[in-house]
Structure 1
Amino acid sequence: MSKLWNIAVVGATGAVGEQIIECLEERDFPVGTIKYLAGAGSADQILEFKGKAVMVEELNQDSFSGTDIVFFAAENEISREFCPFASKAGAICIDSSSAWRMDSDVPLVVPEANPHAIAGYTRKGIIANPSPATIQMVVALKPLHDFATIKRIVVSTYEAVSGAGKKGIDELHGQITSMLQGLPVDSEVYPHRTAFNCLPQVGVFGDNGYTEEEMKLANETRKIMEAEIKITATAVFVPVFYGHSESINIETQARITAIKAMELIGRAPGCELVDDAFNQEYPMPINAAGQDLVHVGRIRQDDSVENGLNLWVVADNIRKGAAINAVQIAEILIEKYLK
């Protein structure tokens, strides 16, 4: 009988936490005990794991005794405060916030791209999950980078409101309902209305004019790919509930044809090629929602540069872009490092 592991999920009542729990069930992760943790306002709720009731406990410094792996699906401040307590208790943290991503002692991992980096968990007992937008871009570009070496990336993202969790989903739903009824619309989660609108601000602006999300796309990609690729990004919220879309332009050192790129994407782990323009088949959020793969299509040459390609990349930002990536990290961790 394979070993069972004691698991905790911090932020179990949130959108990402709920999806992590679902993925652990579906992928039959070898769970011994499971503990659901959240803030005081969510404590005492009753959730389930494989048909059995599990009460949500209030998160505190002593929550991690006897736990092997802790999935953090909470705000940055929670991860910064409580990951060290979990590590001190002997647990390994897999954190989906941005709190630890650029820490040089914390591996930032996309299993399809740099699974070897997981070995670095021993330095702080923490493994960081990249941002969903970075995950899907890296999964799509890694096979192309391995073949032809990417020099430059220009990416524009069209991001679902679930990037802000349940509160973003609820706000868009409420705004659409109000507008259809001719009622006033309030915006509290985002600085402007997201219903029937595009909002070119994902995160706060930095002194350089780029938002946090745009800088994450650049910095996280370079760390994961272990390459000094030139990257510029524009991130936009669109009125979609689930599924980030990305228009990606790459310039490579060696030439790679669109046909070759399709071949590489078609057999790459974590990717699904959806590219039949004549039959109007291409990646869309409505088809990627609830799926585990990154959908890649609209692959075509960019004739404005010597070695250029354009791609359209879509993935479920909650499931693939957070939960599946985190659970895949845990699967590699127990298979290769915690035997």
Structure 2
Amino acid sequence: MGFKVAVVGATGNVGREMLNILEERGFPADEVVPLASHRSLGTEVSFGDKTLKVKVLDNYDFSDTDICLMSAGGNVSKEWAPKIGAAGAVVIDNSSAWRYDIDVPLIVPEVNPDAIDGFKTHNIIANPNCSTAQLLVALKPLHDAATIKRVVVSTYQSVSGAGKAGMDELFEQSRAVFVADPITVRKFTKRIAFNVIPHIDVFMEDGYTKEEWKMVAETKKMLDPKIKLTATAVRVPVFIGHGEAVNVEFEKPISADEAREILRNAPGCQVVDKHEDGGYMTPYESAGEDDTFVSRIREDITVENGLSFWVVADNLRKGAALNAVQIAELLIARNLITPKKAQA
């Protein structure tokens, strides 16, 4: 007997991707219900070769739902995740609303699967920020091997991280450039077409942005609180796929060759690292892929035990929807959840 799964935010970029991935991976669901706000009532979304009609979140009964994948923003999650959890469904939330709650596990299955046991306090599990998820898939096996002291990361984040509105703005502005129309700025703080913007999320008192702070806090919570990390988050004119330039300082010696071998054998990682033209991965090539790709692995001669490398992944998949589905799969694999129908 399969599970009943609800997808909240089913009409958004990540919600639609969640539906795609549930079907692609053959998730053991007897029923999948897409949910959204009143304005999306009756909207049709695809689930494999089926078409599902969106229902309204506000009046939905979760009493027979097993798992709720949520990607509807922090305010919706703060209001609804506790209610859904109290109804007995496990909420896997993609927003930042619960990531820093001590009683809510923050999970990347390849990084800290054992932490999932803590979900029972509130029936809520948090998905990390997209840029953190791919970074930690690469850092975890290296940390296990040589113990990370410090990380310096610069991100190259696609506009899909800002939702459909971000993708539309890049398309509209790019078109306007070619036909000599006026450039309209709405979603981003400056023109994004043929430009890069060193500003994602709001500024904090120390001069970092909240996106950069998220990477610090989430790395400490999921990997090791002793790791020092500094980030610069940059929006780039790419539709899907985040890139990251990463510099790591370790406590123990580790060579580039050793790192390549470790990462080749790490779950969720692929190494594409040839010292030739095109011998590396780009965000464009990562779109539609499940793995995190590591390239340009090299020793940093300016510090003792240092490495530099390049990481790319599909931010809508590993950075959001795929990771949420993998968390649900982990719940099932560890026998932490059984279908309510089977219990009846």
What TM-score bracket applies, with the shorter chain setting the length? over 0.9
Secondary structure at 1:305 match in 2: coil
Correspondence for 2:256 among 252, 258, 261: 258
- Between the aligned partners of 2:241 and 2:48, the Cα distance in structure 1 is 26
Secondary structure at 1:278 match in 2: coil
Give the TM-score normalised by the residue count of structure 1: 0.98
- Between the aligned partners of 2:164 and 2:278, the Cα distance in structure 1 is 32
AA in 2 matched with 1:240? V
AA in 2 matched with 1:338? I
Structure 1, residues 24-67: CA drift from partner, whole Å, max 9, x if none?
00000011111111111111112232323321011115442311
Give the TM-score normalised by the residue count of structure 2: 0.96
1:204-223 paired onto structure 2 within 5 Å:
204-223=202-221
- Between the aligned partners of 1:50 and 1:249, the Cα distance in structure 2 is 40
- Between the aligned partners of 2:253 and 2:41, the Cα distance in structure 1 is 55
Correspondence for 1:132 among 121, 127, 130: 130
Counterpart residue number, 1:328: 326
- Between the aligned partners of 2:330 and 2:241, the Cα distance in structure 1 is 26
Structure 1, residues 54-95: CA drift from partner, whole Å, max 9, x if none?
210111154423111000011110111110110111100000
How many positions carry a matched residue from both structures? Answer: 337
CA contact (8 A) 2:34 2:55 kept: yes
- Between the aligned partners of 1:279 and 1:238, the Cα distance in structure 2 is 22
- Between the aligned partners of 2:160 and 2:45, the Cα distance in structure 1 is 21
**Deviation of residue 210 (structure 1)?**
0.4
Correspondence for 1:271 among 266, 269, 272: 269
Counterpart residue number, 2:288: 290
AA in 1 matched with 2:43? Q
CA contact (8 A) 2:98 2:126 kept: yes
**Deviation of residue 269 (structure 1)?**
0.5
- Between the aligned partners of 1:227 and 1:120, the Cα distance in structure 2 is 18
Correspondence for 1:84 among 82, 85, 88: 82
Correspondence for 1:193 among 191, 194, 197: 191
Secondary structure at 2:114 match in 1: helix
Counterpart residue number, 2:94: 96
> In the alignment, does 2:340 pair up with 1:338?
no
- Between the aligned partners of 2:296 and 2:61, the Cα distance in structure 1 is 47
**Deviation of residue 333 (structure 1)?**
0.4
- Between the aligned partners of 2:61 and 2:43, the Cα distance in structure 1 is 17
Structure 1, residues 100-130: CA drift from partner, whole Å, max 9, x if none?
0000000000000001111111011000000
% identical equivalent positions: 50
1:1-339 paired onto structure 2 within 5 Å:
3-60=1-58, 62-336=60-334, 337-339=336-338
Secondary structure at 1:60 match in 2: helix
CA contact (8 A) 1:273 1:296 kept: yes
- Between the aligned partners of 2:137 and 2:69, the Cα distance in structure 1 is 21
CA contact (8 A) 1:61 1:82 kept: no
- Between the aligned partners of 2:256 and 2:46, the Cα distance in structure 1 is 46
**Deviation of residue 227 (structure 1)?**
3.1
**Deviation of residue 334 (structure 1)?**
1.3
- Calculate the aligned-residue CA RMSD, in Å: 1.0
- Between the aligned partners of 1:274 and 1:308, the Cα distance in structure 2 is 20
CA contact (8 A) 1:20 1:327 kept: yes
- Between the aligned partners of 2:52 and 2:181, the Cα distance in structure 1 is 40
AA in 1 matched with 2:148? I
- Between the aligned partners of 2:46 and 2:278, the Cα distance in structure 1 is 41
AA in 1 matched with 2:36? A
Structure 1, residues 229-287: CA drift from partner, whole Å, max 9, x if none?
00100000000000100000000000100000000011110001010022431120111
Q: Which residues of structure 2 form unaligned runs of 5+? A: 339-344
CA contact (8 A) 1:187 1:193 kept: yes
AA in 2 matched with 1:148? A
**Deviation of residue 309 (structure 1)?**
0.3
Counterpart residue number, 2:342: none
- Between the aligned partners of 2:28 and 2:311, the Cα distance in structure 1 is 32
Structure 1, residues 301-335: CA drift from partner, whole Å, max 9, x if none?
00100110001000000012111111100001012
- Shifted more, 226-235 versus 298-307: the winner is 226-235
- Between the aligned partners of 1:269 and 1:234, the Cα distance in structure 2 is 27
CA contact (8 A) 1:133 1:321 kept: yes
- Between the aligned partners of 2:184 and 2:73, the Cα distance in structure 1 is 23
Q: Which residues of structure 1 form unaligned runs of 5+? A: none
- Between the aligned partners of 1:237 and 1:286, the Cα distance in structure 2 is 15
